[in-house]
Structure 1
Amino acid sequence: TTSRIEEVAASFEGFAGERHSGLVTASDVRYRKQYDKGTAIRNTRQVSMLSVEDLQQIAENLQVERVEPDWLGANLVVSGIPRFTEVPPSSRLLFTSGASLVVDNENQPCRYPADVVDRHFPGAGARFVAAARNLRGTVGWVEREGHIRVGDKIALHIPPQRIYDAGL
């Protein structure tokens, strides 16, 4: 779990004091097809981002009154960006301070938050992975340093999208 704060310093290494910060990380199960476990790779998962709207949908899917972002280990919660989990890779979130974050990928549901959900709503944790599918937010990294504050406006820049056709 995480705890709520009003402001965070975003540096090129991530959010100050956060356990996922760092320019480099050890590869894990997410990269098993590319690297041996523990291989040093660029950290593109410095920040875990969720939306208020996706959290509400997860709660509705679970048939519980709420799901809190800190239960899921979120570093940043946004609102007003429809279907935030679907924001494509390489999109930029530019904040009032000038700080910017780059979306790397969708954050896949995992078992760890399910245990926290289950502590608050016994029995709901077993349904968490299915309930949170395509709603778990995104992960990304800091592109430009700055402070991010609760209530900051966010400009979302989405790069041109095209479907890759390998001719298969």
Structure 2
Amino acid sequence: MTDQLALLPDDLRVTPKFKVSGRVDGLFATLSPEDFQTTARQVLELGLEGIPGDRHGGFTRKSGGREPWYPRGTEMCNERQISLLSPQELSLVAERMGIAGIRPEWIGGNFLISGIANLSKVPPRTRLVFEGGAVIRVDGDNVPCRIAGASIAAHYPDRDGLDLMFPKVARGVRGLVGFVEKPGTVEIGETMTAHIPEQWIYERA
């Protein structure tokens, strides 16, 4: 153990943990597991399986293109139960695409969170603690896909190529995915506190 500790660089930068607060501006869920686009709700009930009945709900999910290390369709834990979006980032992506706007529902969003700068850069292991007691644990940023791009394109039929443009311009600003750590009820207008964990860069030795 002593030898391993000796390998730690003296200048390793560690960012202490901290908290930052935001607000729930919108809540959404699919009407059935077959839907991609979500529908606005005033209240969401969160269980350990996510949002009951939502497309991305469930304790497990099937692997896909994001998990090339597994054969497609392998059952795995569902760390992508919840999709969280930022109105500022949606506006930025729309600007890059040259369109009037992007609604959270079009790309399958569940939560619209304001007040947290650079939401998509919130690190894994962050705990999102909602005023009513529910807690979502962040898994990481959501990689944009052509399916969401096609959904956006359907709302702008006079524009070509938006389906392919979205994955390119939305990378890094497409929001977060996470899973329910503590069940509870969330309502529009609630305060949410992001508990950012201690962070450091793990570099190649």
Q: TM-score of the superposition, structure 1-length normalised?
A: 0.94
Q: 2:192: which partner in 1?
A: 154
Cα distance in 1 for residues equivalent to 2:180 and 2:143: 20
Q: 1:126: which partner in 2?
A: 164
Cα distance in 2 for residues equivalent to 1:126 and 1:38: 24
Task: Compute the displacement of 1:14 (Å).
Answer: 0.1
Cα distance in 2 for residues equivalent to 1:113 and 1:39: 23
85, 96, 103: which one aligns with 1:61: 96
Q: Secondary structure at the match of 2:166?
A: helix
Contact 1:26–1:40 (CA under 8 A) maintained in structure 2: yes
Cα distance in 1 for residues equivalent to 2:189 and 2:125: 23
Are 2:55 and 1:19 aligned? yes
Q: Looking at CA atoms only, which structure, 1 or 2, has the larger radius of gyration?
A: 2
Cα distance in 2 for residues equivalent to 1:77 and 1:142: 16
Say what the alpha-carbon RMSD is for the aligned residues. Answer: 1.1
Contact 1:102–1:140 (CA under 8 A) maintained in structure 2: yes
Cα distance in 2 for residues equivalent to 1:14 and 1:43: 9
Cα distance in 2 for residues equivalent to 1:4 and 1:161: 35
Q: Encode CA deviations 1:110-136: one digit per residue, 9 max, x unaligned.
A: 001111211222223332122211110
Cα distance in 2 for residues equivalent to 1:61 and 1:162: 31
Task: Compute the displacement of 1:75 (Å).
Answer: 1.1
125, 132, 152: which one aligns with 1:97: 132
Worse-superposed segment, 132-141 or 112-121: 112-121
Give the gaps of 5 or more residues in structure 2. 1-36
Contact 1:103–1:141 (CA under 8 A) maintained in structure 2: yes
Q: 1:137: which partner in 2?
A: 175
Structure whose residues are more often helix by fraction? 1
Contact 2:147–2:163 (CA under 8 A) maintained in structure 1: no
Give the gaps of 5 or more residues in structure 1. none
Q: Secondary structure at the match of 2:66?
A: helix
Q: Encode CA deviations 1:40-90: one digit per residue, 9 max, x unaligned.
A: 211100011111111111111112111101111111110111000000001
